[in-house]
Amino acid sequence: MKQKLTFQDKNEKELFKFLKSNKERKILSFLNQHDLYQLNNEPLFKEALLKKYNLNFIDGSTISVYLSLTNLRKIPRIRGPTFTKDFLSEKNLSKNKRHFFIGLEKKDIQRLKKKLPHLNNTESYNPPFIKFIQFSQEEIKKMSKLINKYKADYVWVGIGCPKQNILTDTLFRKTKAQYFVNIGAGLDFLLEKKKEAPSLVRKLGIEWLYRLVTDFKHTFKKVDKSFISLIYLPGQIKINKPET
């Protein structure tokens, strides 16, 4: 039988509570429709998301609506960028943790500390751009060494899907950090390096429409592929009760 991708039935408040009490090591992934399209085209991406230690959360409004209808109850959606901002801004959650950011420059860390002064235990590494979806063994070894040396609690990875998910799956097995968080452009929005959709647009779950209007050339293919992924929804995803 074909293994289905499991989404966690948690809202943001429940996820924060889980992260404070959980003792096991985990990877957090926030997935939208376009990510599901890539799921059917990148075997390594799919393999990473199906791992037991990987917790998948709904970042797409269409996925949330579909699962709510099929399960006859509201299934929550957690936006990756919103989670990133809220978690790092909440002192009770992030202040006494060691954070390692993959995809940020040293100057970005200074901006982050200026914006959120309580984040005094932070380090970063910005790997070189790669054309393919897997980093070299040399880069993997370098990142693993840096993460272990820093004794990171949280490793935040913002290099885009599916590269970041494949990378975190590899680093998870080579390091001791408790949490890896795949956040895409979450930090770019937090640091205002990229412009985020207006609040109302985000709440309505139509960011794809906003991006289509403001950047049609770059967005059209992604939106087109995102709607193609709807064909596969019934056969490839399911919902799971929150872990305790």
Residue 14 lies inside a defined structural domain of this protein: no
Residue 32 lies inside a defined structural domain of this protein: yes
Buried b (16+ CB within 10 A) or exposed e, 130-161: eeebebeeeebeebbebbeebebbbbbbbbeb
Query: What does each C-alpha distance from 96 to 26, 74, 76, 126, 150 come to in angstroms?
Result: 19, 34, 28, 23, 14
Residue 10 lies inside a defined structural domain of this protein: no
pTM recorded for the entire structure: 0.89
Q: How many domains does the chain have?
A: 1
Residue 176 lies inside a defined structural domain of this protein: yes
Highest mean pLDDT among 13-17, 67-71, 215-219: 13-17
Q: Report pLDDT for 31.
A: 92
Residue 2 lies inside a defined structural domain of this protein: no
Quick check: 27 and 194 in contact, CB under 8 A? no
Instruction: Specify the range with the lowest mean pLDDT, choosing from 31-35, 121-125, 150-154.
Output: 31-35
Q: Report pLDDT for 229.
A: 58
What is the rounded average pLDDT of the residues 133-138?
96
Residue 57 lies inside a defined structural domain of this protein: yes
Residue 143 structural domain: 24-128+135-188+202-237
Residue 6 lies inside a defined structural domain of this protein: no
pLDDT tens for 155-171 read 999 999 999 999 999 99
Model confidence at 50, pLDDT cuts 50, 70, 90, reads: very high
pLDDT tens for 181-237 read 999 888 999 998 888 777 776 776 666 555 656 665 565 455 555 555 555 565 678
Model confidence at 119, pLDDT cuts 50, 70, 90, reads: very high
Residue 162 lies inside a defined structural domain of this protein: yes
Q: How far apart are CA 163 and CA 209, in angstroms?
A: 25
Position 123 pLDDT exceeds 90:
yes
CA-CA-CA-CA torsion for 168, 169, 174, 176, nearest 10 degrees? 70
Tokens representing 86 are: 């809220």
Share of the chain above pLDDT 90, in %: 61
